[in-house]
Amino acid sequence: MAKIDRRKLILEEAARLFSAKRFDEVLMDDIAHQAGVGKGTIYTYFADKEELYFAVVFEGIRRLNEQLQRKANRQQNPEDELRRMVHAIVSFFSQNRFFFRLMSHEDGKSEGGRGENRKRWREERRIQLAAIETVLQNGTEEGVFSVEHPKVETAVLRDMVRSVMIHAKGMSVEAMVDTVMRIFLQGVRKKP
Long-range contact pairs involving 3-8 (C-beta distance under 8 Å, separation at least 24): 6/35, 6/37, 6/41, 6/45, 7/45
Which pLDDT belongs to residue 137? 94
Which pLDDT belongs to residue 104? 62
Mean pLDDT for each consecutive 10-residue tract of the chain (192 residues)?
81 88 90 95 93 85 80 74 92 75 58 65 83 93 94 94 89 96 92 78
Fold of the 49-186 domain: Tetracycline Repressor; domain 2 (1.10.357)
The runs of H, that is alpha helices, within the chain are 3-20, 28-35, 39-45, 49-72, 78-95, 97-110, 115-141, 150-167, 173-186
CATH 1.10.10.60, applies to 1-46: yes
Which pLDDT belongs to residue 111? 46
Count of other CB atoms within 10 angstroms of residue 70: 13
Which pLDDT belongs to residue 171? 94
Each residue's pLDDT tens digit, 101-124: 666 665 655 444 457 777 787 788
Distance CA 26, CA 5 (A): 22
Query: Is the CB of residue 131 less than 8 Å from the CB of residue 69?
Result: yes
Which pLDDT belongs to residue 120? 81
Distance CA 172, CA 108 (A): 26
CA distances from 126 to 1, 8, 15, 69, 100 (A): 36, 25, 22, 12, 17
User: Quick one: how far is CA 171 from the chain centroid?
Assistant: 19
Distance CA 158, CA 141 (A): 21
CA distances from 123 to 53, 61, 110, 130, 131 (A): 17, 11, 10, 10, 13
Spell out the domain ranges in the chain: 1-46, 49-186
